Amino acid sequence: MDAKLIMIIGIALFVLLGFFVFVNKKGKRTMNYRAFFVIGVTWLPIGIAIQNYVLGVAGACFMVLGLANKKKWKEEPDWKDMSPEIRRKKLIIMGVLTAVLILGILLFIILR
């Protein structure tokens, strides 16, 4: 992929993300900048590893946005402070994601 195209896509993603942040300031919802940072930390190395530089640039933009707003990060409650219903939901989500990860690794090994 051409370097100019990657730059244009990265700038477009950054402008689009800035637009959403600007529009969101008028509303009552708050942004979860910690989630943006986590998405960026995940997408950047994946984009580099699979040589999808658009994904890497988007990850870098998310990381920068998350780090620029680090003071606004939301702290999640400790496990002991959560209600039993929320704990159960989180355990189910973690279990499903772990099962999907294991199945994906097994399929990768078998189909390789």
* 75-90 per-position pLDDT tens digit: 777 888 888 898 999 8
Q: Taking the mean position of all CA atoms in its chain, how far away is CA 41?
A: 7
Q: Is the pTM of this model over 0.75?
A: no
The pLDDT value given to residue 92: 92
Per-residue exposure over 37-59, b if at least 16 CB sit within 10 Å of its own CB, e if not: bebbeebbeebeeeeebebbbbb
| Percent helix, strand and coil across the chain, each to the nearest 5 | 80, 0, 20
Q: CA-CA distance, 60 to 6, in Å (whole number)? A: 12
Other Cβ atoms within 10 Å of 93 Cβ, number? 10
Q: Is 75 helix (H, G, I), strand (E, B) or coil?
A: coil
Q: SS3 sequence, 48-66? A: HHCCCHHHHHHHHHHHHHH
Banded model confidence at residue 41, pLDDT cuts 50, 70, 90: very high
Is 38's pLDDT higher than 70? yes
Q: Are 34 and 63 spatial neighbours (Cβ–Cβ below 8 Å)?
A: no
